[in-house]
């Protein structure tokens, strides 16, 4: 079955054909124009010149427009060489070599994964190695061989002609092709500040270029190395405008240099124009390579910075979503847990009948497990609120003596049950901190119950507070298992557990110290931990001091009722990191 093209398809194909033909014509004319200029600058044998921007146009055309534009290179190269005086056979050979050079370079670069924007160092290295170094061998070899075959130059002149041909093509691929490539994706629009800076840069380049190249040649100028005055503005272009600024500025300087050198001015003037241009192009190639790499490095760094910023924003967004989820799920889990506790209390009251000792033991275990789970949920909820920025702090004067006394009934029971010696030092009533009383109470509970958890039977725990200059210092010390030096920097991180694995001896989710750290920092304080394996740990909390006591200390730091000290509060505090 044969498929016939629809009128719409035929129209589309006709438009593509016309578009391709127009592109081939534009590229061929551009190639011809710049090639005529290059051949007019004292070419070796009339056809091998060190100034050959046409190679850059050919390479850029194939990279941007595809291999379908290859006829433009053949047409342009044949026409310019034939008009210049090359025999037809030589002109055809040169055209074939120039076309093959561009096709080989474009193919190898595309296989390499080349970015037209030259925004990676690897792209610039590929341009230098493949386009400027390797593919140019093809055109130089075929072109010079064609000239010898047509008796345009003598075989003895092969080396000089080949060298000039290769060098000219390499410079074209190194400067002109990148210039076209980096501006091919340019979009109008520039901040006014950037416009004035670019104008200032262009002015400096023009002035510096004229100072360097407009002078008459002399041994003094050569000795001074005045051409290196161009490096500061070229570095400016690369640093501030990236790869596009580096390529544009280097090509701009090269153009000024070629014009003045062709007129017999500047530090590269030697015996004849060919030697002048060869010396100049050597300098230009060094500049082009250096500032292409610098511009690509800056572009790559900017890209990496933007990617890191985007990744950070995504991570922060995910973290906020996680914190919101934890806050919601923790809140929802507390409701059924409270109901469980309520029913357990009703059963213990024996409203529906007398309980046996075994049943009371089972209910007591249920109650302990409920308290433990509720404490874990409270920790997660507190952490989620801090992470989500929903935890508010009310800073006011807090008498530390009252704060320490308020937690004593809670932790004394836990310490006694474990066989630990608890000592809360007598604190001067004048030691007053500026803090949130509820958050400070939670900090003290977290630290003390943490110490109880990690201190073996027979050990001791001490809590003390004192004035230290403009701050107050609270210390919670224990004679527990201690923390190793490698783990010490991580104990304040969320969910970090020193004792890990499926056979952990100590319960908890690793949030207690993280909550302490966040709360202390929110109250303009800091946390310090000192520990030694087998000897114990001391956690020091430093908070801003307050000079005046609160009017009603009982309202600032409320005492806990007896029922609180024996039920939920100790369980909530006993599950920290």
Give 34-65 pLDDT, tens digit per residue. 988 888 876 666 777 777 889 999 999 999 99
Q: How confident is the model at residue 573 (pLDDT cuts 50, 70, 90)?
A: very low
Quote helix, strand, coil % in the chain, to nearest 5. 65, 10, 25
Average pLDDT over residues 471-482: 90
The pLDDT assigned to 117 comes to 85
**Mean pLDDT taken over the chain:** 80
State pTM to two decimals. Answer: 0.58
Which of 348-362, 424-438, 443-457, 547-561 is predicted least confidently? Answer: 547-561
Average pLDDT over residues 193-220: 80
- Going from the C-alpha of 335 to that of each of 80, 170, 342, 370, 567, the distances in angstroms are 88, 76, 11, 12, 17
Q: Residue 475 pairs with which residues in a beta bridge?
A: 464, 540
Architecture of domain 396-498+507-573 in CATH? Answer: 2-Layer Sandwich (3.30)
pLDDT digit string (tens) for 59-73?
999 999 999 999 999
The tokens describing 369, both together, are 């497990």
Q: Residue 542 pairs with which residues in a beta bridge?
A: 473, 526
Whether the Cβ atoms of residue 432 and residue 548 lie closer than 8 Å to each other: yes
Cα(259)–Cα(273) distance, rounded to whole angstroms? Answer: 11
User: How far is Cα of residue 16 from the mean position of the Cα atoms in its chain?
Assistant: 42
Average pLDDT over residues 435-463: 86
Higher pLDDT, 27 or 496: 27
- pLDDT over 60 at 502, yes or no: no
Residue spans of the domains in the chain: they are 7-186, 187-391, 396-498+507-573
pLDDT digit string (tens) for 145-172?
999 998 888 888 888 889 888 888 998 9
Cα(355)–Cα(364) distance, rounded to whole angstroms? Answer: 12
The tokens describing 1, both together, are 């079955």
Cα(129)–Cα(421) distance, rounded to whole angstroms? Answer: 76
Average pLDDT over residues 295-309: 86
The pLDDT assigned to 494 comes to 62
Average pLDDT over residues 299-310: 86
Closest CA to 424 of 479, 482, 474, 481: 474
Residue 442 gets the label, from left (phi > 0), alpha (psi -120 to 50) or beta, of alpha
Cα(228)–Cα(367) distance, rounded to whole angstroms? Answer: 83
Average pLDDT over residues 395-405: 89
- Sheet containing strand 536-544, strands side by side: 421-424, 460-468, 471-478, 536-544, 526-532
The pLDDT assigned to 136 comes to 92
**Chain length of the chain:** 577
Pairs from 302-311 (Cβ < 8 Å, separation ≥ 24): 302/242, 303/119
Average pLDDT over residues 134-147: 92
Average pLDDT over residues 82-104: 93
């Amino acid at each position: 079955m044969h498929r016939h093209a629809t009128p719409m398809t035929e129209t589309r194909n006709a438009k593509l054909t016309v578009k391709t033909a127009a592109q081939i014509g534009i590229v061929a004319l551009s190639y011809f124009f710049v090639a005529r200029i290059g051949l007019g600058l004292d070419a070796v044998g009339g056809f091998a010149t060190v100034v050959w921007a046409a190679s850059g146009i050919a390479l850029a055309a194939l990279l941007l427009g595809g291999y379908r534009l290859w006829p433009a290179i053949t047409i342009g190269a044949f026409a310019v060489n034939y008009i210049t005086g090359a025999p037809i056979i030589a002109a055809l050979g040169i055209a074939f070599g120039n076309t093959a050079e561009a096709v080989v370079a474009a193919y190898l670069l595309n296989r390499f994964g080349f970015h037209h924007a030259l925004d990676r160092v690897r792209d610039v290295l590929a341009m230098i190695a493949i386009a400027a170094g390797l593919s140019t061998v093809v055109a130089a070899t075929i072109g010079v061989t064609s000239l010898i075959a047509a008796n345009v130059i003598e075989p003895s002149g092969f080396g000089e002609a080949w060298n000039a041909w290769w060098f000219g093509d390499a410079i074209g691929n190194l400067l002109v092709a990148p210039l076209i490539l980096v501006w091919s994706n340019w979009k109008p629009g520039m901040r006014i500040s950037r416009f004035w800076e670019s104008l200032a840069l262009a002015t400096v380049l023009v002035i510096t270029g004229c100072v360097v190249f407009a002078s008459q040649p002399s041994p003094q100028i050569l000795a001074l190395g005045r051409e290196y005055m161009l490096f500061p503005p070229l570095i400016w272009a690369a640093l501030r405008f990236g790869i596009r600024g580096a390529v544009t500025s280097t090509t701009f300087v090269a153009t000024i240099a070629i014009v003045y050198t062709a007129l017999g001015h500047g530090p590269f003037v030697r015996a004849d124009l060919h030697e002048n241009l060869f010396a100049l192009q050597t300098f230009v190639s060094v500049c082009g390579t250096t500032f292409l790499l610098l511009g690509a490095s800056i572009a790559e760094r900017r890209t990496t910075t933007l990617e890191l910023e985007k990744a950070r924003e995504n991570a922060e967004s995910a973290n906020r979503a996680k914190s919101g989820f934890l806050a919601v799920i923790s809140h929802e889990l507390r409701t059924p847990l409270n109901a469980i506790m309520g029913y357990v209390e009703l059963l213990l009251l024996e409203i529906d009948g007398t309980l046996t000792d075994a049943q009371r033991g089972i209910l007591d275990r249920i109650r302990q497990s409920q308290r433990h789970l509720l404490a874990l949920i409270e920790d997660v909820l507190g952490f989620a609120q801090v992470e989500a920025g929903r935890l508010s702090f009310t800073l006011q004067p807090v008498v530390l003596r009252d704060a320490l006394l308020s937690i004593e009934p809670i932790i004394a029971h836990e310490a006694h049950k474990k066989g630990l010696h608890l000592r809360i030092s007598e604190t001067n009533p004048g030691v007053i901190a500026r803090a949130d009383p509820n958050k400070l109470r939670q900090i003290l509970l977290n630290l003390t119950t943490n110490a109880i958890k990690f201190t073996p039977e027979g050990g001791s725990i001490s809590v003390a507070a004192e004035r230290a200059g403009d701050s107050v210092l609270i210390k919670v010390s224990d004679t527990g298992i201690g923390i190793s030096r490698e783990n010490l920097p991580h104990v304040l991180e969320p969910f970090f557990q020193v004792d890990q694995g499926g056979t952990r001896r100590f319960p908890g989710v690793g949030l207690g110290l993280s909550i302490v750290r966040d709360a202390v920092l929110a109250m303009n304080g800091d946390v310090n931990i000192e520990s030694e394996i087998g000897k114990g740990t001391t956690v020091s909390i430093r908070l801003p001091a307050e000079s005046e006591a609160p009017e009603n200390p009982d309202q600032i730091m409320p005492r806990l009722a007896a029922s609180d000290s024996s039920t939920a509060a100790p369980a909530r505090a006993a599950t920290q990191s």
